[in-house]
Structure 1
């Protein structure tokens, strides 16, 4: 075995002399016989003596063997040597497991987490039941409150206050500001004609909302608080009727709820005014072109409360008899003849104002709803049915019908 350096030089031993000097007397190449009594005992010819250490042909102690290959050096030994079972200085090969499918134990369910989720689900259901019951109780209480506020005597509550300078709702293009059957879907400032095709657009400071128990439109007694139709709703050359349920806070002055005319003046107007120094409900028409004052005809109520009270106003015109009439809450307040008939002004229908001498006048202060137009002159019985909500005569146009 070598450690990587040159092998040591080990010269061949010289032949024994013929005289057999040394340990034997054999010839060249034969070992000498052992001396009698010498170590190893006597031996005859052909029997070699036990080799002396380091004899010729045998590896010397501590010397390399020239007839044998050095074994392969495995490398540095690990501390403490190789483990038991190694051969020739090499560790024994590791036993490789037989190939086969890997075994993975089936996962066990998290019983604690499942139990907690189940408990959470039960608690959620209990909370939902409690919330639903609370909502139902609140709904019943709210309904009772509304009934109490409305009263059992048939009187309607006052409309809510309207803040000066507030703007009409501005809904998104995809949905209305609230779910309201009185407006065109997606356009909360456009009153829908329920029985015709003439919708009415609210002005900048007119508001439409749920109100008390009916949809209503509210006006603030100024030039920007009005509503205008898409076109003419009444043919004033023929018989017609117009009605509106109104509320006003005004105690004097001219305030018109519904009117129609052209760019110069009105053809008819229905609302409130001061007559003979007293507050009254009025229905007025014009006979002459451009609304000359001398051609005005009107019917006014007498002694009826007008301020801070709801009233159903209905004006009729009979083209056959050329007569106009005014009804307040289903009862006739008066009538007057209109010999020349009513001026055929082609303008659009208006809410909350009227045209006077080429300017807008008579702004409404309050609220209104249940606005209807018929193409006939209703009888007293039919007007009473309208007040009671049982009319069988279909209007040609209607807005904000409860």
Structure 2
């Protein structure tokens, strides 16, 4: 049968069998439908052949050889692709943005369009925008201050972990939150309470619910003196109090006060307390003006270090300050009313023995 001849009917397939081919060429003979026929007894030397590669009815042609890849070229291409992938990852890391606002944690954002390609960016302070990233030119956070240098003497104060030196209403001050670790303290007693002395500080009170201590001395059973703000019978007042000796058995001292009415609101206020060992009088000054003078029996010499932002009472710390304190000064004399007024206008006149957080 040749190309174009009609296909024989089913009855012709048995009456007209295809011509027999020699065994070596039987695999290329035509089948009943124009394709190659399979040998009836294939031998190991001549495996069955597939269809021919020509028109129907043509003899089978050899299968074209499979081209072999250039393995060296493929290796070079793989190396180039690997390098390009690394550069793309580095570029993605360099340009990644923090996804969301994360405080002290880690923000993760997929890069290069792949769910498995992620860049972890350590976040610092929270930003105001959910997609903001701290600029490389942003100023670093202020260093943590662990001590306050003595501007007039040579005795620094240690700073508790809950206190922070920062700008408060335009002044460098010690910011206190009322917690047990928000304070500053000296290494020992810096005020000789057996003699005359003066202590002063600019204070900013931001709590109107309890008594608060600004500058005190003593760290054993009781304080020797306490300069701060008092809340009593529903009223606030500025105060300077001392533990004064008594003749009562079992009760060696009692608190004696000098007070002044405290204006409502939170504003910087200069408090100054003096003790005159000769007259045994204590006096309180508010913003350089004398508020009250009280007679005492002296100051009980309770041992302990100078404190800023807390007071010792019955062997415990209490009255933690909430707000800010600055310009803490100590003089080994009782300043006169004129000297206190001058100090309020020009801090450091007369010169103190110790001074911290001086503006």
Report the TM-score, using the length of structure 2 for normalisation: 0.57
Which residue number corresponds to residue 334 of structure 1? 292
Task: State whether structure 2 residue 278 is matched by structure 1 residue 320.
Answer: yes
Q: Which runs of 5+ in 2 are unaligned?
A: 1-139
The structure 2 residue matched to 1:272, chosen from 201, 224, 229, is 229
Which residue number corresponds to residue 218 of structure 1? 175
Which residue number corresponds to residue 356 of structure 1? 313
**In 2 relative to 1, CA 237–358 (structure 1 residues): closer, same or farther, beyond 3 Å?**
same
Which residue number corresponds to residue 263 of structure 2? 305
Q: Which runs of 5+ in 1 are unaligned?
A: 1-175, 180-186
The structure 2 residue matched to 1:379, chosen from 306, 311, 336, is 336
Report the TM-score, using the length of structure 1 for normalisation: 0.51
Distance (Å, rounded) in 2 between the aligned partners of 1:299 and 1:358: 24
The aligned runs of 1:93-108 (5 Å cut-off) are none
Larger Rg: 1
Distance (Å, rounded) in 1 between the aligned partners of 2:195 and 2:264: 30
How far did residue 232 of structure 1 move?
1.3
Distance (Å, rounded) in 2 between the aligned partners of 1:246 and 1:321: 28
**In 2 relative to 1, CA 366–293 (structure 1 residues): closer, same or farther, beyond 3 Å?**
farther
Q: Number of matched residues?
A: 218
Q: What secondary structure sits across from 1:250 in the alignment?
A: coil
Distance (Å, rounded) in 2 between the aligned partners of 1:226 and 1:310: 18
The structure 1 residue matched to 2:211, chosen from 251, 254, 274, is 254
Asked if the contact 1:256–1:269 (Cα under 8 Å) also holds between the matched residues in 2, the reply is: yes
Distance (Å, rounded) in 2 between the aligned partners of 1:337 and 1:253: 26
Distance (Å, rounded) in 1 between the aligned partners of 2:156 and 2:250: 26
How far did residue 393 of structure 1 move?
1.0
How far did residue 379 of structure 1 move?
0.8
Which residue number corresponds to residue 172 of structure 1? none
Distance (Å, rounded) in 2 between the aligned partners of 1:306 and 1:343: 33
Mean Cα deviation higher: 203-212 or 288-297: 288-297
How far did residue 220 of structure 1 move?
0.3
Task: State whether structure 2 residue 158 is matched by structure 1 residue 201.
Answer: yes
Asked if the contact 1:284–1:298 (Cα under 8 Å) also holds between the matched residues in 2, the reply is: yes
Which residue number corresponds to residue 346 of structure 2? 389
Task: State whether structure 2 residue 238 is matched by structure 1 residue 281.
Answer: yes
How far did residue 188 of structure 1 move?
2.5
Q: What secondary structure sits across from 2:340 in the alignment?
A: helix
Asked if the contact 2:258–2:282 (Cα under 8 Å) also holds between the matched residues in 1, the reply is: yes
The structure 2 residue matched to 1:366, chosen from 314, 323, 327, is 323
**In 2 relative to 1, CA 391–208 (structure 1 residues): closer, same or farther, beyond 3 Å?**
closer
Asked if the contact 1:264–1:291 (Cα under 8 Å) also holds between the matched residues in 2, the reply is: no
User: After superposition, what is the alpha-carbon deviation per residue over 1:323-374, rounded to whole angstroms, capped at 9, x for unaligned?
Assistant: 0000000111101001x21011231100110000010000000001011000
Q: What secondary structure sits across from 1:382 in the alignment?
A: helix
Distance (Å, rounded) in 2 between the aligned partners of 1:384 and 1:298: 21
**In 2 relative to 1, CA 327–400 (structure 1 residues): closer, same or farther, beyond 3 Å?**
same
User: After superposition, what is the alpha-carbon deviation per residue over 1:266-311, rounded to whole angstroms, capped at 9, x for unaligned?
Assistant: 0000001113431111101002399948621111112x31541110
Distance (Å, rounded) in 2 between the aligned partners of 1:297 and 1:252: 22
Q: What secondary structure sits across from 2:195 in the alignment?
A: coil
Which residue number corresponds to residue 296 of structure 1? 255
Q: What secondary structure sits across from 2:146 in the alignment?
A: strand
Distance (Å, rounded) in 2 between the aligned partners of 1:332 and 1:292: 31
User: After superposition, what is the alpha-carbon deviation per residue over 1:123-168, rounded to whole angstroms, capped at 9, x for unaligned?
Assistant: xxxxxxxxxxxxxxxxxxxxxxxxxxxxxxxxxxxxxxxxxxxxxx
How far did residue 312 of structure 1 move?
0.2
How far did residue 177 of structure 1 move?
7.2
Which residue number corresponds to residue 245 of structure 1? 202
Asked if the contact 2:220–2:303 (Cα under 8 Å) also holds between the matched residues in 1, the reply is: no
How far did residue 213 of structure 1 move?
2.9
Distance (Å, rounded) in 1 between the aligned partners of 2:336 and 2:250: 28
Q: What secondary structure sits across from 2:188 in the alignment?
A: coil
Task: State whether structure 2 residue 271 is matched by structure 1 residue 345.
Answer: no
Q: What secondary structure sits across from 2:339 in the alignment?
A: helix
Which residue number corresponds to residue 110 of structure 2? none
